């Protein structure tokens, strides 16, 4: 039996937001509450390393968001967290480093940003125009931009891939505005971990 002080218990209950449920039977709690209770039990001894297996599995959207924010708080506290999960969209929002394993073999590892960049070395942008009639003008203007690799236009949207820097992208936006081509927004289309997994994994069982 390992005993912990009341201070440690209070701190963990506050961190996991379980003060109001501290006297409840765990068996009567929701899946999200059970996950937090399990994590609270683990945190009582203030470990430096946490290993979590599918922590978001079976949780409803609200519980998943709350659990994700809790993991981010633990990260800010300086704890190292290793998460094993098949929910790749969750991992991309909380992890700084990933490892992709297929059939027991490590096929990729490194910083999330580096892995995504290696799969898509060029940048992809989407320009949403206010008037579809401006498509041809916008496409012609973008094709002359620095670092532009390709431009496609359809249904009021212009997509372009490039190797441009942020400064060059800003200059390009200024040129579009100077030509009085009204647009609703410009956004960068980023690769995600699901895309990375599908590109790197071969489907080996």
Residue 158 token pair? 């212009």
Residue 132 token pair? 């579809």
pLDDT by residue for the chain (205 residues), tens digit each? 333 444 466 778 777 777 777 677 777 777 777 887 888 888 888 889 999 888 877 778 888 888 888 888 888 889 999 998 888 877 777 888 989 888 888 988 998 888 887 777 788 999 999 999 999 999 999 998 888 999 999 888 999 999 888 899 999 999 999 999 999 999 988 778 888 888 788 776 5
Beta-strand (E) ranges in the chain?
A: 49-53, 80-84, 97-102, 105-111, 123-129, 148-154, 157-162, 183-188
Strand partners, 51: 82
Q: What is the distance between the alpha carbons of residues 58 and 95, in angstroms, rounded to a whole number? A: 20
Are 79 and 48 spatial neighbours (Cβ–Cβ below 8 Å)? yes
User: Strand, helix or coil at 63?
Assistant: helix
pTM beyond 0.85:
no
Strand partners, 83: 52
């Amino acid at each position: 039996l390992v005993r912990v002080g009341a201070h440690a218990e209070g701190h963990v209950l506050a961190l996991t937001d379980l003060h109001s449920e501290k006297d409840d039977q765990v068996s009567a709690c929701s899946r999200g509450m059970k996950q937090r209770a399990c994590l609270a039990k683990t945190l009582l001894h203030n470990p430096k390393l946490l290993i979590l297996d599918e922590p978001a599995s079976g949780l409803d959207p609200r519980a998943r968001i709350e659990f994700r924010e809790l993991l981010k708080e633990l990260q800010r506290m300086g704890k190292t967290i290793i998460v094993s999960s098949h929910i790749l969209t969750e991992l991309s929002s909380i992890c700084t480093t990933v490892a992709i394993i297929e059939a027991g073999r490590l096929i990729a590892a490194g910083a999330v940003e580096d892995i995504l960049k290696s799969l898509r070395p060029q940048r992809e942008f989407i320009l949403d125009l206010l008037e579809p009639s401006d498509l041809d003008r916008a496409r012609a203007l973008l094709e002359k931009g620095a670092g532009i690799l390709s431009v496609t236009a359809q249904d009021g949207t212009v997509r372009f891939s490039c190797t441009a820097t942020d400064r060059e992208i800003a200059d390009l936006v200024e040129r579009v505005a100077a030509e009085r081509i009204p647009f609703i927004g410009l956004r960068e289309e980023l690769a995600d971990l699901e895309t990375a997994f599908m590109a790197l994994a071969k489907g080996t069982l």
